[in-house]
Amino acid sequence: MTEKSYPEATVGALIFNPEGKMFLMRTYKWSNRYAVPGGHIELGERIEDALKREVKEETGLDIHDAEFVSLQESIFDEAFWERKHFLFLDFICKTSNSHVELNDEGQEYLWVFPEEALKLPLDKYTERLITSFIRKDEKTALYIR
């Protein structure tokens, strides 16, 4: 019998500090481009718990007020260091502090306003996420003010 493979579900966090700046980290996993922290949802793990765990592991930050923003799909994209089929569940969230302790997945980080972020070398999924957030923010005068 042939073993089946399935897309891998992941979470990603667009994190805002009290000043309204968002966190981005440069990572080798996305060809040294800036991306948001995130990772796999473990079997039996709730989505929001996976989001908090992944952010804490990669950045040392504690997050709160997570709000779902978008679903993206990556199918064997050469821009990622492993060729896999991913489903990205993207969230915006807040942190109460800006003290970061990167793990080995991030080479550097910065805090930047969303419009400024679009001028950086971003992976295409992070660029879509930020663009989606900006559009939503313009329509609803939303979230981080």
Per-domain boundaries in the chain: 8-140
Percentage of the chain lying above the pLDDT 70 cut: 91
What pLDDT digit, counting tens, does each position of 63-120 carry? Answer: 999 999 989 988 887 766 677 898 999 999 999 988 899 999 999 999 999 999 999 9
Q: Place 144 in a pLDDT band, splitting at 50, 70 and 90.
A: very low
**Yes or no: domain 8-140 corresponds to CATH 3.30.1160.10:** no
For the chain, the average pLDDT equals: 89
- Compute the distance between CA of residue 12 and CA of residue 94 in angstroms, rounded to an integer: 13
The SS3 call for residue 76 is coil
Q: Which two tokens stand for residue 44?
A: 């039996």
Q: Looking at per-residue confidence, does 6 or 10 come out higher?
A: 10
Mean pLDDT of 4-33: 93
Proportion of the chain in helix, strand, coil states, percent, rounded to 5: 25, 35, 40
Mean pLDDT of 18-24: 96
- Amino acid identity for residue 4 in this structure: K
* Residue 81: predicted pLDDT: 66
